[in-house]
Structure 1
Amino acid sequence: MRFTHPTPVFDANASSGASFGDLPEWDLTDLYQSEDAPELKRDMDWLEKACADFAADYEGKLAGLDAKGMLDCVLRYERIDVIGGRIMSFAGLRYYQNTTDAERAKFFSDCQDKITTFTTPLVFYTLEINRIPDEQLDALFDANGDLARYKPIFERLRAMRPYQLSDELEKFLHDQSVVGAAAWNKLFDETIAGLTFNVDGEELNIEGTLNLLTDPDRAKREAGARELAEVFGENVKLFSRVHNTLSKEKEVEDRWRGMPTPQTGRHLSNHVEPEVVEALRNAVVAAYPKLSHRYYALKAKWMGLDTMEVWDRNAPLPIEEPKTVDWETAQKTVMDAYADFSPKMAEIAEPFFTKGWIDAGVKPGKAPGAFAHPTVVDVHPYVMLNYLGKPRDVMTLAHELGHGVHQVLAAGQGELLASTPLTLAETASVFGEMLTFRKLLENAKTKEERKTLLAGKVEDMINTVVRQIAFYDFECKLHDARRTGELTPDDINALWMSVQAESLGPVFNFMDGYETFWAYIPHFVHSPFYVYAYAFGDGLVNALYAVYEEGDADFQDKYFAMLKAGGSKHHKELLAPFGLDASDPKFWDKGLSMISGMIDELEAMED
């Protein structure tokens, strides 16, 4: 079951500010009218009975089903997934609109508790499927084409076969989840949303303070960075406890399951081979000198600095004129870029703006960052932003809208097959960003404007590729170290710093307090080892975009077919029509060379 919580993927750091036009808010009534809507009670009651009936009809009997019986079973399971997903999407999205509202938090928790209880009898489903011999399942697929469509789901379930526990233990873990990782996730979210920062007499939330790190005024950037360090330092024991507990819980479960590495579970859920991830990681680390080290040395020169401080990393360039982009302009920029690629893409994106599918404003208690949540296939996705009118916020809109378009297209696969592995989930989002960037670059009127755009894109790619692989290395080190015992805040700080200098390069000086900046990264808490998916997605899109630029006449059709496939195909099968193969180490070099090519152009502008 994938609906125990909405697991939003927080994609970007936005921030706080003034009015940028009429910012849209979510209309969640397509899910339910309210938390006490009769339809919600009806669905909750239906779900309780449907789960009990499913267990009564099928437990202990899956191995004896014929092809039609197995198809009926899968379709009933899928319907349960839809109703549970709808309820949890509504509860979760309301909660993320205001994580400090006690009523919303209680409603979210209560829904989670009930659904966990209702679905405990269904744990047998995966366990029994994994005990059916391969040849018996293959015969069922051969006998019924409609059932064969679900073969990728069975393959994904059966990838977990070597790591499956007894029925009783699996039920225990399912029941226990609401007071395990889910509870620590919630503590983290509520703590982060409730933090306050005092900068020059102004009280800000985390979004507003992170926003200062991109301010043109260096003194403001420094003040923001030092206040972040101060507040993270004051709370570091709590964040350390969250990380210690979650990594230990994971280690215990992995050990019982016999998983060879802490990353194994993520690779299995991503449907990607460990050696492919290792090839990506190694290619990026080897490229640090020609990517981040080279770019930041160039940026230091532009800024007239011998040494950069951490608060200079995302600073605007000295030639960059401070610019605020209102919401209407942001919408037009992204929609024009999408329409230039394909009118169909713009058509799919349009309802997000017109039907209340985007929540864009910065509000007290609202979750930080941005995400696109697919809800369920018979409703539609919702996009969350914290829009502050910065040019990078326009790119965040392009990114999240890309996710939304992907989720709309994949919905045709049905609930079980629509969900895309994380490694491929970033494809449409990063491609949407690239389309928007190329549109802006095409319209640049001066050398300075082109330089600013190129530098901004290089920084975004470094943040997506270099920074995320450094995050991945930090997580690998953290989970390995936790296996030997409890980690103090200083231990975790040291692991964080061990990857920062290596990835960012010798031009950086790291202020006292920066060692705690691991504390606010939600991915480490919500989705361990998620972060490599960003680098995977960026490298994949760079390679895809190179094919597009080469003028493949059928590119748009192939691209939409790839998005429509959702989770029904492996990355090898999806990339084959474009002549690409992610298991080839040269594939990653192709993607990374696009970034180094942009840095080449920036260096040439110095002459």
Structure 2
Amino acid sequence: MNTTTYEQTWDLDVFFEGGSSSPAFATHLETLDSELNNFSTLVKEFTVPTEANEKEALSSIITAFVNVGAKMRQAGAFVSCLSAQDTKDKKANMLRGKVTQLSATFQTVLTNFDQKLVTIDQAVFEALLQAEPFQEISYVLNERRNRAKEKLSTEEESLINSLGIDGYHAWGQMYDTIVGKLKIPFEENGEIKELSAGQAHNKFSSSDRNVRKNVFEHWEKAWGEQADYIGASLNHLAGFRLNVYKQRNWEEVLKEPLDINRMSKQTLETMWKAISDNKAPFVEYLNRKAKLLGLEKLSWYDLDAPISKTESKVSYQEGAEFILEQFSHFGPELTEFTKKAFEDRWIEAEDRDGKRPGGFCTSFPESDQSRIFMTFSGTPSNVSTLAHELGHAFHQHAMKGVHTLNRSYAMNVAETASTFAEMIVADASVKNATTEEERIALLEDKIQRSVAFYMNIHARFIFETSFYEERKNGIVSTERLNELMEQAQKTAYCDALDQYHPSFWSSKMHFYITGVPFYNFPYTFGYLFSLGIYAKAIEEGTDYENKYIALLKDTASMTVEELASKHLGVDLTQPEFWEKAVRLSIKDVEEFLTLTN
């Protein structure tokens, strides 16, 4: 029996003591600034090699790149954690601005470096990639060189990075500032409370429809009141991107997100088609859920509603112990790692005011640690989120021993590891159900996630695709944004809902993340890709953990098509893999429909 009590607040002092007033962090930023200047000097003075044996200067640059990159990630992770745990921490926001500035400078230096890679003769470059110490990072260096060929001159790309500090990235930060001030009124026991966006969102899992409806009405009103400001942010973020793409002669809006995710457009289109062709069972599920709730049709705020009359609540401790137990059936390394994360306070889960909505996992590369952020209110969905974020952290842990430049995996494969961990826990929850009512409720919670990936994320993708096309012709009004979002939701949900969420574009932070454009389809890719891996894991049992770790180690040094071919023996550009994966989740729907007939 576990005797350790897990705390719900994280430990950030182990990195830099004193929070946003930390003298150690101020020193870290000074050191980073100094090392960044040295890196810049090395790149400026770099003489392009004419022979493969002239590799010392390039080797020095790679070393500096690795060191500065790790310090930059450490700083970025720290300020992200500070801002998320307390949206009123003004010092944290100022520090974030400083880190954004340093990051832009870093990107400018890397742009200069990449352009120098372009000027190396092809034969010499190929010979260099075969030599030590470049052989193991040949994919990444080749990728950087090829991407640089498609960009503007060093001076122009540097200017874009500089202007992005107070332009592009500033609009993303403006969104965070607005959300930090947002309050949703909620009446409980005759008392009006003001909830943060994160706390209010958890109320959509309430078993009381009056609570859900009431929160949704206030939710729509609160976001609607900020719509003009948030709409300006969205328009300017898209406008900045589109102008950059135009200067680079990139006609395809999806070019950058597909490049970042190391996947082809054919793979993306094949994935969405497999989903669209198989939505009928999920529509049937939505209709059945509506009947079980005594409704003609579900509204948006009913999607996360429990169908059980008794709300299932678990404590943070119970959730943690359940996750550990289920991970132990998969493999010892995942279990030991997760135990360490709980014991060493890597997780911020406390349900309190002033926190940012949502959840994330971020890595501190210099410390070989991660931190997880979420708000735990005791729902089964919270347990799934916790497992999801622990999956992200384990992915970072699995990359230990891999060259630092081979650790920058894209979001789509990042979501694979997290969803895989979430699946272990969700499956176990269903299997361990002691009554039919509990089994139905847990099965339904699992299906909700499939609906999220196949319908909610699809709606986001359709919306962004439509929005970017209209944005090419000028500013898109908030009224039109609402229309585009509702149209996208109707298409993605196959007209299965009674009431939609037109202001979803303003309440979903994923549209405002400047690091990765189109922050949506990678989630669905990760979900389906992890289903394929999960099927293999069930087949092979505990012996699969080492193979799984081997797959994770390769996630940043090849395309997803190559990764799937090497580790799963499948072709992602063809429909077979995707249809098989979707059918795995349809089995849950079929069981649910049978049990609730």
Q: Decide: shared fold, TM above 0.5.
A: yes
Q: Which residue of 1 aligns with 2:432?
A: 443
Q: Describe the shift of the 1:504–1:70 C-alpha distance in structure 2 as closer, same or farther (beyond 3 A).
A: same
Residue 411 of structure 2 is aligned to residue 422 of structure 1: yes
User: Do the aligned residues in 1 keep the contact of 2:74 with 2:363 (CA within 8 Å)?
Assistant: no
Q: Which residue of 2 aligns with 1:7?
A: none
Q: Alpha-carbon deviation of 1:266?
A: 0.8
Q: Which residue of 2 aligns with 1:15?
A: none
Q: Alpha-carbon deviation of 1:540?
A: 0.6
Q: How many residues align structurally?
A: 582
Q: Which residue of 2 aligns with 1:314?
A: 304
The CA deviation string for residues 124-170 of structure 1, in whole angstroms up to 9 with x for no partner, is: 111211332332211012232x2111112113213423421111111
Q: Describe the shift of the 1:424–1:226 C-alpha distance in structure 2 as closer, same or farther (beyond 3 A).
A: same
Q: Alpha-carbon deviation of 1:377?
A: 5.1
Give the match's secondary structure for 2:194: strand
Residue 146 of structure 2 is aligned to residue 156 of structure 1: no
Alignment of 1:399-548 (within 5 A): 399-510=388-499, 514-526=501-513, 527-548=516-537
Q: Which residue of 1 aligns with 2:98?
A: 110
For structure 1, list consecutive stretches of 5 or more residues without a partner in the other structure.
1-20
Distance 2:436 2:28 in 1: 58
The one of the two structures with greater contact order (alpha-carbon pairs below 8 A, sep at least 6) is 1
**368-377 or 570-579, which deviates more:** 570-579
Residue 33 of structure 2 is aligned to residue 44 of structure 1: no
Q: Which residue of 1 aligns with 2:166?
A: 179
Alignment of 1:198-237 (within 5 A): 198-200=185-187, 201-237=192-228
1:29 maps to amino acid:
D
Q: Describe the shift of the 1:602–1:115 C-alpha distance in structure 2 as closer, same or farther (beyond 3 A).
A: closer
Q: Alpha-carbon deviation of 1:331?
A: 0.5
User: Do the aligned residues in 2 keep the contact of 1:51 with 1:122 (CA within 8 Å)?
Assistant: no
Alignment of 1:333-348 (within 5 A): 333-348=322-337
2:17 to 18, 33, 43: 33
User: Do the aligned residues in 1 keep the contact of 2:73 with 2:363 (CA within 8 Å)?
Assistant: no
Distance 2:150 2:440 in 1: 51
Alignment of 1:156-305 (within 5 A): 156-200=143-187, 201-291=192-282, 293-305=283-295
Give the match's secondary structure for 1:31: coil
2:371 maps to amino acid:
Y
User: Do the aligned residues in 2 keep the contact of 1:60 with 1:128 (CA within 8 Å)?
Assistant: no
Distance 2:33 2:202 in 1: 45
Distance 2:143 2:446 in 1: 36
Distance 2:115 2:144 in 1: 9
Give the match's secondary structure for 2:556: coil
Distance 1:552 1:343 in 2: 12
Q: Which residue of 2 aligns with 1:326?
A: 315
User: Do the aligned residues in 1 keep the contact of 2:388 with 2:418 (CA within 8 Å)?
Assistant: yes
**256-265 or 199-208, which deviates more:** 199-208
**49-58 or 554-563, which deviates more:** 49-58
1:426 maps to amino acid:
E
Q: Alpha-carbon deviation of 1:60?
A: 5.6
Q: Which residue of 2 aligns with 1:600?
A: 590
Alignment of 1:11-30 (within 5 A): 23-30=7-14
Q: Alpha-carbon deviation of 1:477?
A: 0.6
User: Do the aligned residues in 2 keep the contact of 1:412 with 1:418 (CA within 8 Å)?
Assistant: no
Distance 1:310 1:92 in 2: 30
User: Do the aligned residues in 1 keep the contact of 2:179 with 2:197 (CA within 8 Å)?
Assistant: yes
Distance 2:203 2:179 in 1: 17
User: Do the aligned residues in 2 keep the contact of 1:306 with 1:507 (CA within 8 Å)?
Assistant: no
Q: Describe the shift of the 1:204–1:39 C-alpha distance in structure 2 as closer, same or farther (beyond 3 A).
A: closer
Give the match's secondary structure for 2:329: helix
Q: Describe the shift of the 1:444–1:122 C-alpha distance in structure 2 as closer, same or farther (beyond 3 A).
A: closer
User: Do the aligned residues in 2 keep the contact of 1:98 with 1:366 (CA within 8 Å)?
Assistant: yes
Distance 2:581 2:30 in 1: 50
Give the match's secondary structure for 2:372: strand
Q: Alpha-carbon deviation of 1:210?
A: 1.6
Q: Describe the shift of the 1:207–1:263 C-alpha distance in structure 2 as closer, same or farther (beyond 3 A).
A: same
User: Do the aligned residues in 2 keep the contact of 1:99 with 1:366 (CA within 8 Å)?
Assistant: yes
**398-407 or 282-291, which deviates more:** 282-291
**252-261 or 203-212, which deviates more:** 203-212
TM-score, normalised via structure 1 length: 0.91
**250-259 or 173-182, which deviates more:** 173-182
Distance 1:364 1:295 in 2: 35
Distance 1:278 1:377 in 2: 38
RMSD: 2.0
1:243 maps to amino acid:
L
2:524 maps to amino acid:
A
Percent identity, please.
Answer: 23
Q: Alpha-carbon deviation of 1:114?
A: 4.5
Q: Which residue of 1 aligns with 2:354?
A: 365
Distance 1:550 1:388 in 2: 35
2:77 to 75, 86, 89: 89
Distance 1:109 1:28 in 2: 19
Q: Describe the shift of the 1:118–1:308 C-alpha distance in structure 2 as closer, same or farther (beyond 3 A).
A: closer
Distance 2:106 2:149 in 1: 27
1:593 maps to amino acid:
R
Residue 98 of structure 2 is aligned to residue 98 of structure 1: no
The CA deviation string for residues 246-274 of structure 1, in whole angstroms up to 9 with x for no partner, is: 11111000111122211111111111111
Distance 1:133 1:288 in 2: 51
Residue 340 of structure 2 is aligned to residue 355 of structure 1: no
Q: Describe the shift of the 1:33–1:143 C-alpha distance in structure 2 as closer, same or farther (beyond 3 A).
A: same
Q: Which residue of 2 aligns with 1:76?
A: 64
Distance 2:517 2:580 in 1: 27
TM-score, normalised via structure 2 length: 0.93
User: Do the aligned residues in 2 keep the contact of 1:251 with 1:483 (CA within 8 Å)?
Assistant: yes
1:24 maps to amino acid:
Q
Give the match's secondary structure for 1:411: coil
Distance 1:444 1:277 in 2: 36
Distance 1:465 1:106 in 2: 38
User: Do the aligned residues in 1 keep the contact of 2:205 with 2:306 (CA within 8 Å)?
Assistant: yes
Q: Describe the shift of the 1:194–1:346 C-alpha distance in structure 2 as closer, same or farther (beyond 3 A).
A: same
Give the match's secondary structure for 1:509: coil
User: Do the aligned residues in 2 keep the contact of 1:270 with 1:423 (CA within 8 Å)?
Assistant: yes
2:37 maps to amino acid:
A
Q: Alpha-carbon deviation of 1:26?
A: 1.9
